[in-house]
Structure 1
Amino acid sequence: MDKVFARFLEKFGSPVDREEVPASSLERYRGKLPNQLLEYWAEHGWCGYGNGIFWLVNPQEYEGVVASWIEGTKLEERDTYHLIARGAFGDLYLWGEKTGFSLKITSVFSRCVIHDFEITSEEMDRELQGFIVSRNVDSNDVEDLFNPTRRKLGTLRHDEMYGFVPALMLGGEPTLDQVEKVKAVEHLILLSQLSELEPYNF
C-alpha cells in the first residue's frame, strides 16, 4: 500500500461494505481516470470509509446522476466527468478527464465548487493522490448529524445515503428527525431536479 492511501486510512479507519472491482471496470476507465485510482480500486475495492461517511464508488453506477446534474449546463461543454467519490449526505466528487478533480457538488443545496484548470496526463496521478490525502471526515458531515444518524438508522450500504425528507431545498430542516436512509442514485437524481445547480459565492 502506498503512503498516501495509508495516511488516508489513518484518518478514516477501515473500510465498510467493500465491493471487489471487476477487471472490466478497470479496463473501462483506463485512460479516462488516473492509473493511480485504478490501482487503488484493484487493491482496496469500492467501499465506504469513516464508518460510511465517505465512499469511493463505481462511476458507472452514477452515470445517470452525473448526467442529471450537469446536462444542459456549461459544465457539460467543459469536460467529461465521472463520479469517483461521494459523501454520506450526498457530497459528489467529480473527476474530469481533462481537468482532474475540478468539480464538487453539494447536492443537498444544489451548489458546486469549480476549479478552473487543465492538467496533463502526467500530473493526473499526483492530482489524484492530492485529492485522496486532502479528504477530511468532517467535511462530509452536515450539522454534525452523521454519528447520531448512524446510531439511529444504522451504517450505510454502498448504494445508500442519508437524505433529508423533505429535502432542504423544499424547506426541510437539517435535524435528526428529518433524516432517512435512502437509495443514493434515486435520491441524488431527485435532488438534481429541485433547483438549478449554482456555484458557491465565497
Structure 2
Amino acid sequence: MKDYQVRLASIIKDFGAPQGGDTAIDVERYRGRVPDAVIEFWQQNGIGTVLDGYFQFCDPGRYSGILKLVFGGDPDIHAEQTHALGFGAFGTIVAWNEVHQDVTIDLVKGQVSCPALVNGKRYDPNLAVTTQLMLLDDPTFDEYDAHAKKLFKPARSKLGKLGVGQIYGFRPILALGGNRALASLTIYEALPHMAILAQAHELQLMDNAPFPPQPMRVIER
C-alpha cells in the first residue's frame, strides 16, 4: 500500500465516509488534473458531508463557476486549472491547482491561501493533497462570533444539520454590515451564496507563514 493510500484510509477512519452525495463524479475528466489520491478517494467513497456537515466533498464541475468568479483574471492562479474538492460549513473552499497545488479560499474573510505560489515549495502531489484533507476538522473552517466563540455547533443546534450543497452564512453578509452573531446566521444554498460572497469584496492572497498572516496582493478578477 502506498503512503497516500494509508492517509486516505486514515481520513475515512477519522472523519467517516461522505454522506448524502447523489452525484457520481466523472473521474476521467479530472485524471491527470488532480492527484491520483483524489481520484481514488472519489472512486472509493464518492462525495457528500462528513463531521455532521462541518465539511463536504463536492463535484468540482459544479463549483467551477465560483472559481471563475474568484480567479477569472488572476495571472498566477488560473480558474480552469483550479478544482474545488470540497468546502467547510461556512463556505471556505479547499481546491487543487494543477500548477500551484493546495489552494484555500475563505470567502467570508476574503482571503486566498496558496503556499506554493508564495514560498515556491512544491511537494509530491498525493502527499500534499492528503495532508490538506487530513485537516478537515481544523478550526479555520469554523466561524466565530464577536466574542471569539465558535459558531458551528451552536448553528447546527439552532438551524439544523446542513444538507449536501448547503452552508451557514450571515444575513446580511459581513461585507455589507452583518453581525458576527448566532442570531445573524441562516442556511443558504451554497452556490448562489458563494457567488455573492465572491463578488462582495476584494480577495487577498495571503502569506500564512508569519503571525499574523500578511496580505501579499489582490487576487485579480
TM-score range, shorter chain: 0.7 to 0.9
Match of 2:190 among 169, 172, 184: 184
Deviation at 1:59, TM superposition (A): 0.2
Bigger Cα displacement from structure 2, 66-75 vs 53-62: 66-75
Distance 1:77 1:159 in 2: 24
Aligned to 1:157: 163
Bigger Cα displacement from structure 2, 74-83 vs 62-71: 74-83
The 3 A distance-change label for structure 1 pair 75 and 174 is farther
Between Structure 1 and Structure 2, how many residues are aligned?
197
- In structure 2, runs of 5+ residues without a counterpart are 145-149, 207-212, 215-221
Note if contact 2:72-2:79 (Cα within 8 Å) is conserved in structure 1: no
- In structure 1, runs of 5+ residues without a counterpart are none
Equivalent residue runs for 1:16-95 within 5 Å:
16-22=19-25, 25-77=26-78, 80-95=81-96
Deviation at 1:61, TM superposition (A): 0.3
Distance 2:57 2:79 in 1: 24
Equivalent residue runs for 1:103-114 within 5 Å:
103-114=103-114
Equivalent residue runs for 1:138-177 within 5 Å:
138-143=139-144, 144-177=150-183
Note if contact 2:71-2:78 (Cα within 8 Å) is conserved in structure 1: no
Bigger Cα displacement from structure 2, 8-17 vs 151-160: 8-17
Deviation at 1:7, TM superposition (A): 2.5
Deviation at 1:68, TM superposition (A): 0.5
> Normalised by the size of structure 2, how large is the TM-score?
0.81
Q: Which amino acid aligns with 1:7?
A: S
Q: Is the partner of 1:112 in helix, strand or coil?
A: strand
Bigger Cα displacement from structure 2, 67-76 vs 152-161: 67-76
Aligned to 2:209: none
Note if contact 2:94-2:105 (Cα within 8 Å) is conserved in structure 1: yes
Deviation at 1:171, TM superposition (A): 1.4
- Aligned alpha-carbon RMSD (Å): 2.2
**Could you list the per-position Cα deviations for residues 35-70 of structure 1 after superposition, in whole angstroms to 9, with x for gaps in the alignment?**
110110011111111101111110000010000011
The 3 A distance-change label for structure 1 pair 20 and 193 is closer
The 3 A distance-change label for structure 1 pair 199 and 99 is closer
Identity of aligned residues (%): 27
Bigger Cα displacement from structure 2, 159-168 vs 74-83: 74-83
Q: Which amino acid aligns with 1:133?
A: M
> Normalised by the size of structure 1, how large is the TM-score?
0.88
Deviation at 1:168, TM superposition (A): 0.9
Bigger Cα displacement from structure 2, 12-21 vs 106-115: 12-21
